Chains A and B, each alone.
Chain A
Amino acid sequence: MSSSRRPLIEIENLTVGFPDRAQPALVDLSERIERGEVVAITGPSGCGKSTLCRALTGFIPEMLPARVSGAIRIDDRSVWETDPAQLATRIGLVQQDPDAQICTLNVWQEVAFGPENLCLAPEEVRRRVEAALDAVSIAHLVERTTTTLSGGEKQRLAVAAILAMQPEVLLLDEPTANLDPEGAKAVFDLLDALRKREGRTLIVVEHRLGPLLPLGPRLLVMDRGRIVLRRPTRRHEDLVALGLRAHWEHRPPPVSPLAGMGLRLEEVSFGYESSSLIEQLSIDLCPGEILGVIGPNGGGKTTLLRLIAGLEKPDGGRVVRPEAATIGMVFQHPHQQIFERTVQQEFAIDGPMSPDAFERALCAARLTGLAKIAPFSLSLGEQRRLTIATTLRRAPDILLLDEPFIGQDRHNAAWIIAQILAACERGAATVLVSHDVPLVASLCDRVLYLGEDAIVGDPEVVFSELTLRGQTAFTPGYWEGKDA
């Protein structure tokens, strides 16, 4: 076979197992990826997508110890016989959390970091930095400190930092998971531009496949460590037919709202130093009602939850809660609200439980058999279920959820939705912050767009207004392929 006909990446019977897990993360996986191809990889949480990314870049087993068998070759050269640093000149990985991959304190230095490590001439480093910043449209941020960037800006910076290395293959592991809809749209537009302009090989791990369709990707669906489906995909109908587009049933509006006051915000204002985040926001929430909060990164969504929870005092106005109301708050990252050494002890923080009640709680949270396990060793999905279960154990009158769906597959998302609905039926006034616009549209009774010129109202009214403003990324239509 001549070298020109060889695939760029060849995976042969790859099996990867981690020391602390009985089941292998990847099982006898084989795949060929050609030059210039766009490949979209999807599948439920824990199916091995990130493991595959780390194996392709040589981090497994070099930096993350694992049992490996089979072979991965890039241009006929074994990945396992190559130093990951050397491999990085061929294949660049953009990780899920942009914050967790920024190594320096300044935008220019961050993009120059890779080329400088390659010992390129200073003129070449400068040229590459300028080109990479231009490619992701953040040349204006060149002098900024990395800690002052928004989530979207950080993700673009992470892509620019990899682009400056000029790898043949760009591998992106859920690049939009932490981004607001407009930030996510910008990343998808950027990928489209890279494919059209440079014909670069793109491998993208994503849950949200709709916006990737214009790139004409070859779809790989993974499940339990295997690729279970391979198919070129261009139409939203294909995703629907394959059951890959999350479709949430609209929640019927409550026939008669529960009586009383669930939560009231009276002309609440808040800001940091000279900048104002929330201005004279007034909302009345009935018991059992769900308010969905959407908006750009840094727009004040988490701050709003903190104000409601009493963790922050408003600069103006007031937050009125029913007397002796219990507040439950689910934080964005589950590990930030896990404190004990075992799952059982974690439940016991909120008071003693009978063995039967504890078993029922474990079963409801789909954590049966994990009572003695250290919570930090649970998967992200299991940690999320644990934190929601312990939060709801206190039967909160006000339930606050900050991006509970990040990193969760459809099954986990459906479980979370069921818990929210159960809490609402019991009368909890619920505030849900989420970037998942279609889900917010289907689940929430009212929507608050928190950004410049906040809007609050019925979902249809808010989304119509956002469409008129041209902020289509914040409308469900964009994500459901009606406006892609």
Chain B
Amino acid sequence: MITRLAYRVGTRGLHRASPAGNVLVLSGFLVAVLACPGVLVKIGALVLVLGLAVLSGEPLGTFLRNIRFVVIFALVLFIAQALSNRGGTPLFSLGVSITDQGLLAGAQMALRFLVILTSSFLFVLVTDPDRLAHTLIRLGIPYRYGFVFILALRFVPFFQHELRTVREAQRVRGIRTSVRNLAGLQRAVRYTFVPVLVSGLMRVDSIAMSMKGRCFGLHPRRTTTRKERWGGADWTAAALFAVLVGVAVLARRQSWL
């Protein structure tokens, strides 16, 4: 699951925009779904996210498969709201009365959740994290914090590998860990996460030495050699941001459904 949620090299669609351009697009989606209450705008935003994913070279089937857990959770949210919200006009009964307000509230919540998660997932897919961190540093975030972000990403594949190896070591040794009871859960945590944590701590020490050994933190500022250029794709991203914010404002004023 973590592997799927990772940057992929590409040259199409949002891949052509700089990290700052992609931040704008993501911000536009967040504003659109958080600022306006209507479901139509959220449906439109969701369709737009899927369209942008396809435009950026991500096959629709693959994209949907990768977000299937998000979709399932959104459905759960919808059903929970529909069953528990009793306000409004009753429409039909499923043991409990289902109302128009319950359905609308469920749709609102599920769509908001879907748009936020899918647009964030798309952002991760199309944005080079290294370039993003450097962009944030250029925008004024202290470089020490910027590198925390880079290091966190650097550790993702390492932890994946360690976790897999430790689980394999358990299998070969015939260790079965069960999480069905508290004792089993405790054993599983100790047998799995302690070795992974030890590996992580060992690596943190080495990387800290490696950074210090290359003068990290010697000066209050550092050179940023690679500069991001603001190009045509970024202007398009900025326009998309403006449209999304504009629609959100309009929808809120006009009280669109």
**In angstroms, how far is the closest chain A Cβ from the Cβ of B254?**
45
Whether B194 and A339, one on each chain, are in contact in the complex, defined by CB atoms closer than 8 angstroms, is yes
CA of A329 to CA of B208 in the docked complex: distance in angstroms?
32
Q: Do residues A118 and B175 form an inter-chain contact, with CB atoms below 8 A?
A: no
Which chain A residues border B175 with CB–CB below 8 Å? 339, 349
User: What's the nearest-Cβ distance from chain A to residue B189, in Å?
Assistant: 11
Give a binary string over A420-451; 1 marks a CB under 8 Å from any B CB, 0 the rest.
00000000000000000000000000000000
Task: Decide: A100 and B210 in contact? CB cutoff 8 A.
Answer: yes
Residues of B within 8 A of A89 (CB): 215
Q: Across the interface, do A112 and B214 meet the contact criterion of CB distance under 8 Å? A: no
- Segment at the interface with A among B38-46, B119-127, B216-224: B216-224
Question: How long is the Cα–Cα vector from A51 to B10 in the complex, in angstroms?
Answer: 45
Q: Is B211 an interface residue (CB 8 A)?
A: yes
Q: Verify A335–B214 contact, CB threshold 8 A.
A: no
State the CA gap A54–B173 with chains docked (Å): 36
B228 interfacial by beta-carbon distance below 8 Å: no
The interface-forming segment of A7-15, A103-111, A465-473 is A103-111
Contact between B214 and A117, CB atoms less than 8 A apart: yes
Q: CB-nearest residue of chain B relative to A101?
A: B210
Nearest to A86 among chain B residues (CB) is B218
Is the C-beta of A57 less than 8 angstroms from some C-beta in chain B? yes
* Interface pair A335/B150, CB less than 8 Å apart: no
Q: Which residue of B lies closest to A111 (CB)?
A: B214
A85 and B150 in contact, given A117-B222, A119-B223 (Cβ under 8 angstroms) = no
B199 and A333 within 8 A (CB): yes
B220 and chain A: residue at smallest CB distance: A119
A114 contacts chain B at the CB level, 8 A cutoff: yes
* Residue in A118, A126, A162 whose CB lies within 8 Å of B218: A118
Whole-angstrom CA separation of A88 from B214 in the bound complex: 6
The A-contacting residues of B in range 157-199, CB under 8 angstroms, are 157-158, 162, 165-166, 168-175, 190-191, 194-195, 198-199
Q: A59-B213, A336-B195, A336-B199 are in contact. Are A125 and B207 (CB under 8 A)?
A: no
B4, CB-defined interface residue at 8 Å: no
- Decide if B173 touches A349 in the complex (CB within 8 Å): yes
Chain A count of residues within 8 A CB distance of the other chain: 63
B202 contacts partner chain A, Cβ-Cβ < 8 Å: yes
Render A331-355 as a binary contact track against B, CB cut-off 8 A, 1 for contact.
1010111110100000001100000
> Which of A66-74, A90-98, A205-213, A241-249 makes up part of the contact surface?
A90-98
Size bin of chain B's contact surface: 35 or more
Select one of B147, B150, B212 contacting A59, CB under 8 A. Answer: B212
- Structural contact, B150 and A103, CB atoms closer than 8 A: yes
User: In the assembled complex, which residues on chain A have CB atoms less than 8 Å from the CB atom of B162?
Assistant: 336
Counting CB contacts under 8 A, is B225 at the interface? Answer: yes
B169 near A336 with CB under 8 A, answer: yes
B130 touches A106 (CB 8 A): yes
Does residue B203 face the partner (Cβ distance < 8 Å to A)?
yes
Given the interface pairs A85-B215, A336-B195, the reply to whether A122 lies near B206 with Cβ below 8 Å is: no
- Residues on the B chain within 8 Å of A114, using CB: 214-215
In angstroms, Cα B150 to Cα A116, docked, is 15
- Please name all residues of chain B whose beta carbon is closer than 8 Å to the beta carbon of A328 when the two chains form the complex: 172
Q: Is the CB of B217 within 8 A of A103?
A: no
Flag if A117 contacts B215 (CB, 8 Å): yes
Given contact pairs A119-B219, A119-B222, A311-B171, A339 touches B191 in the complex (Cβ within 8 A): yes
Q: Give the docked Cα–Cα distance between A376 and B198 (Å).
A: 8
With A88-B213, A336-B195, A339-B191 already in contact, the answer to whether A117 and B218 are too (CB < 8 A) is yes
Closest to B194 in A: A339
Name the B residues within 8 Å of A306 (CB-CB): 168
> Interface code A39-83, partner B: CB below 8 Å = 1, 0 otherwise?
000000000000000100101000110000000000000000001
Q: Is the CB of A95 within 8 A of B206?
A: yes
- A to B CB contacts below 8 Å, 6 in the list: A92-B214, A103-B211, A105-B154, A117-B215, A162-B214, A349-B173
Which 10 pairs, one residue from A and one from B, show the smallest C-beta to C-beta distance? Answer: A100-B206, A101-B210, A114-B214, A337-B169, A117-B215, A85-B218, A105-B130, A116-B223, A329-B172, A339-B191
Contact surface of A with B, Cβ cutoff 8 Å: 54, 57, 59, 63-64, 83-86, 88-89, 92-93, 95, 97, 99-106, 108-109, 112-122, 125-126, 146-147, 161-162, 165, 306, 309, 311, 327-329, 331, 333, 335-339, 341, 349-350, 376, 390-391, 394
Given contacts A99-B158, A103-B216, 14 further A-B contacts (CB under 8 A): A83-B218, A100-B203, A100-B207, A101-B207, A101-B209, A102-B210, A105-B130, A116-B225, A118-B215, A309-B168, A333-B199, A335-B199, A336-B166, A337-B172
